Amino acid sequence: MSTFFTDSYARRSFIRNGSAVLVLPFLETFAKAATLRKAPPKRMIFLGGGFGFTKDTFYPKKAGRFAEIGLTEGLAPLKRHQDDITMVANMSNHGATDPHGGSVSYLTGANVSGTPGKRFHNSISCDQIAGKNLGPETRFPTLTLSAKEPDGGQNSGHGQGLSLAWDDSGNPIPGINRPIDLYRTLFAGPKDDPAKIYSQLKKKQSVLDVVRVNGSGMKRKLSKGDQEKLDEYFTGVRQVELGLERQAKWADVPKPKAPFDGPDEGVSGEDAIKLNYDMMLIALQTDATRVVTYRLPVCSLLSGMGVKLKAHSLSHYGFSQPRTEASRQRDLKCTSLFAHFLDRLKEAKDLDGSRLYDQCIVSYGTNIRSGHELKNVPALLSGGGAKEIKHGRHIVLPQEDTPLANYWLTLLQQAGVPIENFSHSTGILPELLGVG
C-alpha cells in the first residue's frame, strides 16, 4: 500500500469525507503526503454496451479531427469532450461469430464455439491480463461490474456470461450486479470484523480441502474426457483458493468508511449507471483497484427512458420509424452517460492532486455495430493514461476487419503491460499512436 494511504490521519480523514472528493479541490495536507509516493499508477476502464448504435446517425462518415468534421447526432452529447475522445473504425472481433453472442468474446477475442471437442470455450479477457500486471498490490486486482436486467439479460445484447470478464481458463467471472452490492464490496460495514472474516475464510478453505481430496481419488477412475472436465473444475477451485488467499491478506486492512448512505436495492437503469460510475471513481482514487470492467445495463436503461420495446426488438429497427427513433434516443442516452462519466473523471483528484483522468485509459464500445452486424464495431477511447495517443480524432484504419485484438494489445501496452500479443492480434495499431 502507498505511504499516503497507509498514513492513518490522511487515510481516515480523506476517506471519511469522500463524498466531496469528486468535486472539491485536493487539500494541501494530503497533497503534501502524496509527494512522498511515486507517480500515480495507470488505470484501465472497460465499458461495454449491448447491441450497437443507429447506423445512419451515430457513425462519422469520414476520418479527421472532430473539431473539423463535426460530431454526428449520436455523438453530439460528447461535444464538450470532443478533443479528448478518439473513435476507431474498421475493426472487427475475429472471434465473434454469433450476433446473439453479444459481449461474450468482446474482451477475449475467442471463437467460443470453434474449439474442437468443446461446445463452448472462452479464453482470458484483456482486463484480467491488465489486473495481473497493474493491480497485484490492490485489494481488488480487477473490479468487475455487471447489471441485473429485468428479463435475466436474454434480450440485453450481451449474450451468456456473467460480466465482460473471463479468467485464465475461460470461465466467466461473476459481476457485481447492483449498486448496493458494489457499495457493500467497497466500503466498511458492520460485518467487516477481522475475526469473523478469518472464521468464514477457514470454513470455506475446509470445504475446498474436502473437494480436492475426494476429487483426486475420483480422477483415476474417469475417462480422458471426464478427466479434462475435472481438471477444468479443479482450475476453478484454484481460482477460488487464490481469492481466499487475497481476502486473508486484506482481512486486517480496514476498508474506507462509506462517504454516503447506501443506495436503494431496487435502483436500476440510468440511476444505477451513475451510482456505479461514482463508486468506480472512488475505488480508483483510493487505489482499491486499478482495473474496472462494467457490462452496462440495456433493458433497464430502455425501460427507464419509457421505451417499451425490448433491446433485441429495438435492434431490428430496419424501416420502422418508431423503432429507428427509439434507437436514436438510446444512442443519445448512452453517449450522454459516457460524457457524464468523463466529466466526473476529470473532476476527480488523483493521489498526487492531479486529475484522475490523466492516468486512465477508458474504452467504451460493443461487439456489434448496428442491428446484428459483427464487422466494423464501435470503439470510443478517452483518458490521458495513454501518453502516445492524441485524442480528438476519428480514425479509419486502412485495412478493413483489422483485428479488435490489435486495439486491446495497443491499450495494454500503453498502460505499461509487458505483452507482445493478445488473442488473435497481428500487432498494435500505429494509426492510433499517430505514426501510421
Query: 158 and 220 share a domain?
Result: no
At 402 the three-state DSSP class reads strand
**172: which DSSP letter?**
B
**Edge-to-edge strands, sheet with 360-365:** 64-65, 393-396, 85-89, 379-382, 360-365, 43-48, 291-295, 143-145
Answer with the one of 201, 223, 253 that is the final residue of a domain. 253
Instruction: Tell me, yes or no, whether 91 lies in a domain.
Output: yes
Q: Locate cell 476498508: which residue? A: 255
* 52 within 8 A of 378, measured Cβ to Cβ: yes
Domain span including residue 220: 193-253
Q: For residues 220 and 183, state if they share a domain.
A: no
Q: Are residues 225 and 248 in the same domain?
A: yes
In a domain, 82, yes or no: yes
In a domain, 434, yes or no: no
> In this structure, is residue 16 part of a structural domain?
no
Return the CATH number at 390: 3.40.720
Element (H, E) at 143: strand 143-145
pLDDT over 80 at 322, yes or no:
yes
Cell 464500445 locates to 365
Residues 198-227: tens digit of each pLDDT: 455 555 555 445 455 455 555 566 666 666
44/363 Cα distance (integer angstroms):
8
Q: Looking at the predicted structure, is the pLDDT value of residue 436 above 60?
A: no
* Residues 306 and 369 grouped into a single domain: yes
The C-alpha angle 196, 199, 205, rounded to 5 degrees, equals 140
* 251, pLDDT greater than 90: no
- Environment class of 184 (CB within 10 Å of its CB; exposed 0-12, middle 13-18, buried 19+): middle
Do residues 33 and 310 make contact, with C-beta atoms less than 8 angstroms apart?
no
- 395 and 280 housed in the same domain: yes
Whether 203 maps to a domain, the answer reads: yes
pTM of the model: 0.83
25-34, 222-231, 277-286, 337-346, range with the lowest pLDDT: 25-34
Which DSSP category does 167 fall into? Answer: -
Q: Which of 208, 227, 253 lies at the terminal end of a domain, its last residue? A: 253
Residue 407 lies in a domain: yes
> Do 119 and 233 belong to one domain?
no
What's the pLDDT score for residue 384?
97
Please give the distance of CA 119 from its chain centroid, rounded to a whole number.
Answer: 26
Per the domain annotation, does 125 fall within a domain?
yes
- Cell numbers 481419488 correspond to 217
Q: What is the mean pLDDT of the chain?
A: 82
Question: Are residues 239 and 295 both part of a single domain?
Answer: no
Cell numbers at residue 40, please?
A: 500515480
Residues 310 and 243 in one domain: no
Same domain membership, residue 314 and residue 182: yes
* 48 DSSP β-pair partners: 295, 365
Average pLDDT over residues 163-182: 92
Q: Are 289 and 283 in contact (CB under 8 A)?
A: yes
- Is residue 1 one of the residues assigned to a domain? no
The domain tally of the chain equals 2
Cell numbers at residue 432, please?
492510433
Q: Are residues 45 and 161 in the same domain?
A: yes
Whether residue 165 is found in the same domain as residue 181: yes
* 232 and 120 within one domain: no
Residue with cell 466467466: 172
* Structural domain ending residue among the three candidates 222, 253, 284: 253
- How many other C-beta atoms lie within 10 A of the C-beta of residue 264? 13
